[in-house]
Amino acid sequence: MPTRLPRTMLIDMNSFFASVEQQANPLWRGRPLGVGNSLHETSCLIGTSKEAKKLGIGTGTSIYKAKRIYPNIIVTRSDPDKYREVNDQMNRIFRDYSPSVEPYSIDESFLEIPDDKGLLIAAEIKRRIKSEIGEWLTCSIGIGENKFLAKLAGAMQKPDGLTVIWRDQLPEIYKHKQLSDLWGIARGWQKRLAKLNITSPLQLLDYPVQNLISLFGKPGFDIWQRVNGLEIDSIESSPLTGEDVTLVTDEGGFLGYPSPGASRHPLPQGERDNLKETSQKSFGNSWVLNFRTTDKEKLKSVILRLAEKASRRMRREGLMASGIYLSVSLTDACPQRLSTGHVCNQACDGGRGSYFHKSRKIKGFIETGFELYEQSLKVWDAWKFPSEVMHIAVGFTYLSPKVKQLSLFVDRNATLTPVLDSINNKYGEFAIRSGLLTKTSDFAPDAIAFTHVT
The whole-number pLDDT of residue 422 equals: 53
Three-state DSSP state, 403: coil
The whole-number pLDDT of residue 147 equals: 95
Spatial distance between the Cα atoms of 298 and 289, rounded to a whole number of angstroms: 12
Residues 117, 122, 127, CA angle at the centre, nearest 5°?
125
Spatial distance between the Cα atoms of 261 and 112, rounded to a whole number of angstroms: 48
The whole-number pLDDT of residue 334 equals: 46
Spatial distance between the Cα atoms of 331 and 384, rounded to a whole number of angstroms: 14
The whole-number pLDDT of residue 192 equals: 94
Q: How many CB atoms lie within 10 A of CB 6?
A: 23
Q: How many CB atoms lie within 10 A of CB 154?
A: 26
The whole-number pLDDT of residue 150 equals: 96
The whole-number pLDDT of residue 297 equals: 92
The whole-number pLDDT of residue 317 equals: 87
Measured in degrees and rounded to the nearest 5, phi and psi for residue 313 equal: -65, -45
The whole-number pLDDT of residue 15 equals: 97
pTM assigned to the model: 0.65
Considering the chain, tell me which residue range(s) the CATH 3.30.1490.100 domain(s) occupy.
247-437
Question: What CA–CA distances, in Å, run from 265 to 217, 312, 418?
Answer: 33, 17, 16
**242 in Cβ contact with 94 (< 8 Å):** no
Q: Are strands 74-77 and 33-36 parallel, antiparallel or unpaired?
A: parallel
The whole-number pLDDT of residue 446 equals: 57
**CATH class belonging to 171-227:** mainly alpha
* Cα atoms in the Cβ-side hemisphere of radius 13 Å centred on 363: 4
Counting Cβ atoms within 10 Å, is residue 276 exposed (0-12), middle (13-18) or buried (19+)?
A: exposed
The whole-number pLDDT of residue 327 equals: 92
The whole-number pLDDT of residue 233 equals: 79
**370 in Cβ contact with 412 (< 8 Å):** no
Measured in degrees and rounded to the nearest 5, phi and psi for residue 143 equal: -125, 130
The whole-number pLDDT of residue 45 equals: 95
277 classed as catalytic: no
The whole-number pLDDT of residue 354 equals: 73
**165 in Cβ contact with 144 (< 8 Å):** yes
The whole-number pLDDT of residue 231 equals: 79
The whole-number pLDDT of residue 98 equals: 93
Out of 21, 102, 108, 251, pick the active-site residue.
108
Low-confidence spans in the chain with pLDDT less than 70: 1-3, 238-280, 332-353, 403-454
Considering the chain, tell me which residue range(s) the CATH 1.10.150.20 domain(s) occupy.
171-227
The whole-number pLDDT of residue 272 equals: 35
Bridge partners, 105 (sequence order): 108
Q: CA nearest 111: which of 123, 99, 120, 119?
A: 99
Residues 292, 347, 59, CA angle at the centre, nearest 5°?
65
Q: CA nearest 94: which of 230, 251, 226, 245?
A: 245
Q: CA nearest 417: which of 197, 226, 256?
A: 256
User: What CATH number has the domain spanning 247-437?
Assistant: 3.30.1490.100
Spatial distance between the Cα atoms of 430 and 214, rounded to a whole number of angstroms: 49
Q: Report whether the peptide linkage leading into residue 159 is cis, meaning its omega lies within 30 degrees of zero.
A: yes
Spatial distance between the Cα atoms of 215 and 223, rounded to a whole number of angstroms: 13
The whole-number pLDDT of residue 436 equals: 53
Three-state DSSP state, 427: helix
The whole-number pLDDT of residue 238 equals: 59
Angle at which helix 147-154 crosses helix 218-227, to 10 degrees, equals: 50
